Each structure stands twice: as C-alpha cells, then as structure tokens.
Chain A
Amino acid sequence: MKRRNKMILVLSLLGVCLIAALFLGSAFGAVSIPMSDIGKMTLNKTAIFDFPTTWTAAEETIIFQIRMPRVIGGALVGMALATAGVLFQGLLRNPMADPYIIGTSAGAALGATIAMMLPISLAFLGFGLVPVAAFIGAVGTVFLVYNLARVGGKTPIISMLLAGVVVSALMASIMALLITISDRLHLSLQSVYSYLLGHISVTGWEQLAVIAPLVVGGAIFARFFAFHLNALSLGEEGAAYVGVNVERDKIVILVLGSLLTAAAVSISGLIGFVGLVVPHAMRLSFGPDHRLLLPAAALGGGAFVIIADLIARTVMAPAEIPVGVITAIIGAPFFLYLLRRTRKEYAF
C-alpha cells in the first residue's frame, strides 16, 4: 500500500505541474492572455459550457491556432524524449544513455539536412519534407545499428552502443561535409543550425493528430515493460534467469524508444538534455522502480519542455532562443542541485 500511495501522490503532483505548465505556456507570449479566459474559451469549445465572451476573436485565434498547438507539441516532445530516455537507460544500463545514443539524432539531423537541400516541397499528413526525412533518418539509423550489432542471433548491448557511436560519427562527418560545401548545395546554414539546437515547430493541429497518438500511446505501451525493465537491471543474463525473453524485449524497447524519439525530433529538431536529465532527476527524486519512473518521466518531461519553450520565446522577444539552449541552461543547474542534495552516492 505504501508504494501505491507514493505512486498516486507523485503522479498527481506531476500531473498538476503539467496542466499548470500548459496554461502558463498558453498565457504568455507577444500578448498576455489571462489564464481565466483561456480556461473559459477552452471549456466553451466542449459545447457544454457557455461563458460570456470577455476576450477578442484575435485572442481566441492566438490561443487555438498558435499557442496551444505549440504548447501541446512541446509537452509531447518532452514526454517522448523523457520516456525514451528511461527506456534506453534501463535497457542499456548506461547512465550516459539518452534517446540519441544509438544514432537517432545523427540520423535525424542528416535526414533533415538532406531534405533542406532538396528543391522539393511535400506535404504528408500536415508535415513538410524536413520532419518526414528526420523521422525516417532516425528510425532508419537505429535499424541499421541494430543489424550491424547483431551476431549469431543475439545483439549484445556493447556491440550496439559501439555500432551506434560509429554510425553516428560517420553521419556527423557527412553532415560536416554538407555544411562545408553548403553554398554550392543551396543549403541554408541558418536552418541547419536551428534544427540542431532544437526549435519546436508545430504548424497546426493536423501534425499533433499524428504525433499525439504515437507519443501518448507509446508512453502507455512502455508502462507494460516496467517489470521487465526492472529485471533488466540484473543484466541480460540475470533478466533471463527471472523469466525475461531478453532478445524480444530488446527489439520492442528499441523500436518503441526510437519511434518516440523520431516523433519528437520530427517536430522539434534535436533538443538535448531532456532525455538524459529528466529520467535521472526522476530517479533521484522518486527511486528506480520503472512502474513509477516511466509515467513520472513522461509527465515531468512534458512540463519541463513547455516551460523551457516558454522561456525561449519570451525572454528575448521578439527574438527566439533555441529551446535546446534553454533546456540545458535551466536543466543543468537543477540537475546538479538534485545530485548534490542526495546525501547518498547516486547508484548507477
């Protein structure tokens, strides 16, 4: 019962944080809109309530067409990256693991850069060529790494990490080459740079309708593997001894983590730090049990990215700071505070 109560308490708390972040993120920007108005106009949309309109039509457009899609997009990005971070750290038993560790980031970056060079425009489910190419690049790279690391019916973790590092390095150098000759390729360095630092670009609800089921569904599906992730902390052999089909779980967790990451990078570029630090922060605060850790990281990650994005677009308005810069600037001191605060040695 004790564990159950803790779980309910922690998740309610983080749930409240996420909802508060959604409202805060919607309220502030070039024009501030009172949160009470945001609440009322949202409730009016349900057709059950009918509050008198105390706001302008322009304000309503700003909320529903610009801010909410972006804020919800931020929440989904944070949720996806933090969940994928927990999955990869648990599977690889590596504290340095993050959603990008086995090549998703390099693959996505290369995919996006190539797309930026191509003189084609395309719209697929509301997505342009760049997000689609980033998604394909991320998933394709993990597929490549997994198969390169596979020997004799098994995929040892160490081989996978090494193959990931090497494939990432290869792709990074191709990127560097493309950037060097960017003027010949009509490649805008500005857009490549913006992609690499992370920038949440949601153009409307249509994109969210694709990303949201993938991310929310993925985060819920991940929870099915909580027991097995706990068992995997015994190592591959140890997990097998307590009944885990390790090779099967490895594929499922890898595919799930990569899809979540690919979904995130397709609308946000490479936001660093979230997938590495949110899982650690949650583990330091609430313990290593994946039954709590997975949903806690999803909620916490969502709130964190919304707030980071809010800061990114308001502090130097009208200029926007890349959100990846903010996640590190506010995430690093917070994480260091947590790390220093725990009197015991952080076990990983």
Chain B
Amino acid sequence: MIGLQINQVDFSYFDGLVLEDINLSVKAGEMVGLLGPNGSGKSTLIKLASGILKPKRGEIRLDGNHITSLSRRFIASNVAVVPQQFHIPFAFTVSEVVMLGRTPFFRALADESEDDRQVVDNSLELVGIEELAERRFDELSGGERQKVILAMALAQQPKLLLLDEPTVHLDIAHQMEILELVRELNMGRGLTVVAAMHDLNQAALYFDRLILLKEGRVWADGTPQEVLTEVGISEVFAASVRVELHPLTGAPHIVVMPRVKATKPH
C-alpha cells in the first residue's frame, strides 16, 4: 500500500497553467476518482502522479518520498498506469505484452525467471483472460486489449494503480468488467487507486471519493453524494442536469436535461 501527496502543484505544458495550486492527499487503500470536463487537467494530474511529467511548482510525494528523487525503475515497481489505450506496433502475444510489466524487475542479460512467469500467469488469471495468453495482441478487440493492459499493469505488482479514463473506448459490458475488477483489487488487496473518469454515473457507483476539477483547480473533493450535486455539475460542466439517488444502487444518478426534445411534437 502506498499513499500519494500532491502539495501546491502548478503545471503548464507551454504557457498558461494547466493545473494550479493542486493540494491532494490520497491515503493508502483509497479509491479516488478524478472528474472534470475535457481539458480540466485530469490526465495531466495522472501523468504528474506517475512521475513522467514534472511539476512547475510544488512537490509530489509517494509514501513521503519526493517523486523526482526516485528512479523510473523504482517508481514502476510501485506504481502502474493504465492509459486510455496503447498502440503496440509489433506482433507480440498477450503473454509477451503482460511480461512487459515485469520490465522494472529484469536485469540486463538475465532471462525472465520462473517467478516472473508465475506473476504473469496470475495477472492473466486475475483479469480473467488466461485463454487469450497465446493470442496476438494486435488481433484482439478493444475491450480485450484493455484487459491485457490492466493485466500488464498488475504484473508490475503495484501498490498504487493510476488509470487515465481506462474505459473511454469500450462498450458498457467491458466498462463494467474493468471497473469492477479494479474495485475488487482495491477492496480485496488494499490497492490504492486513482482514476480519471469521464462517466459521472460510473464514478458514483465505484468510487469512495471523488475530486471534481475545473480549469486546473480542485473544485470539490468528497464522497459521491457531496461532490455530485446539481449545482456543482451545472457549474463545472456547464450542463443542465438533475441528480437523484438511484432507487436500485443508492448512488447519485445524474440525468442530463436535453435542451432540444429528441422526439418531434405531433
């Protein structure tokens, strides 16, 4: 288990701040969703937390250590990232792709060990894709590929899992499978999870804590009930919505109110 602290972080790609004065503390074992409109800085925040972008100001700590003082190899053996999608140009098989998750544990010329193979098999099994092991990655469907990428991330045996809109290109069945799996790993193994999410209703269902970003700043931070309010969503997304507690799930449910009627009047 590993915690994440983001203190007074500013970030800009060129000019104009993408993130401004971000203060967040994620405790070990939490499952946190990042919400916000396109361009609000969700993905950038995930990249900062993974260490591949450096803040312009402020500091990011993994379990108390400055992320800038940690090597890529060390970060990768504690933190795994699942992006929206990966394009892999070569004809690797699924188990070869999952084995890439063992990269931080390899030594230059040494071969992969029995241990590494065991971890790969376990990861495939956890995600429920053992039967895909020898298939070629580039021939899988989008949903299957995303499961492989999740298995690869799990092969890193991370303590912190970062996801950047992991379900955005998937059909609903695959979306649910991925999110439920992540939730199970969080509850069963205490894996700390931070995920940028685009679907507010899904975020309400699976996350303990949500953080709403607007124009690079934290706008709200709390439980789904606290964050997903009609006023908040209308303000941040500039959309007219109704929020009610769903009778079946008990979670806040957001309905977007159309400005134009879908059916023509008679």
Contact = CB atoms under 8 A, between A and B. Distances in A.
Interface of A: 4, 93, 95, 223-224, 227-228, 230-231, 233-235, 237-238, 240-245, 283, 287-289, 291, 344-348
Interface in B77-132: 77, 80-81, 83, 86-92, 96, 100-101, 103-104, 106, 108-109, 111
Contacts of B47: 237
A274 to B, nearest CB: 20
Given A4-B111, A233-B92, A241 B138 contact: no
B92 A244 contact: no
Most interface-central of A93, A228, A234, A242 (chain B CB within 10 A)? A242
Interface size class of B (residues with CB under 8 A): 20 to 34
A291 B100 CA distance: 13
B40 interface: no
Contacts of A241: 50, 52, 76, 80-81, 83
A243 B75 contact: yes
Contact of A228 (B91, B103, B139): B103
Interface string B132-158: 000010110000000000001000100
Nearest to A228: B103
19 contacts: A223-B109, A230-B103, A231-B100, A231-B103, A233-B89, A234-B86, A234-B100, A235-B86, A235-B87, A238-B86, A240-B50, A240-B76, A241-B81, A242-B152, A243-B73, A243-B76, A283-B90, A288-B90, A347-B90
Nearest to A289: B96
B201 to A, nearest CB: 28
A243 B96 contact: no
Contact of B72 (A224, A245, A291): A245
A37 B156 CA distance: 57
B88 A234 contact: yes
Given A243-B73, A289-B96, A347-B138, A233 B88 contact: yes
A243 B136 contact: no
Given A234-B88, A344-B139, A346-B91, A242 B109 contact: no
Nearest to A90: B90
B103 A243 contact: yes
A347 B89 CA distance: 6
Nearest to B87: A235
B158 to A, nearest CB: 10
B139 A240 contact: no
B52 A240 contact: yes
A119 to B, nearest CB: 48
Contacts of A245: 71-73
Contacts, number: 82
Contacts of B88: 233-234
A242 B139 contact: no
A228 B152 CA distance: 15
Nearest to B138: A347
A185 to B, nearest CB: 44
A334 B81 CA distance: 41
Contacts of B90: 233, 283, 288, 347-348
Contact of A244 (B80, B89, B103, B156): B103
A244 B72 contact: yes
A347 B109 contact: no
Most interface-central of B81, B89, B156 (chain A CB within 10 A)? B89
B25 to A, nearest CB: 23
Contacts of B76: 240-243
Contacts of B86: 234-235, 238
B134 to A, nearest CB: 11
A270 B11 CA distance: 47
Contact of A238 (B73, B83, B111): B83
B100 A242 contact: yes
A30 to B, nearest CB: 44
B77 A243 contact: yes
8 nearest A-B pairs in the assembled complex, by CB-CB distance: A243-B76, A243-B104, A288-B90, A347-B91, A242-B103, A347-B138, A243-B73, A241-B81
Contacts of B81: 241
A252 to B, nearest CB: 12
A231 B72 CA distance: 13
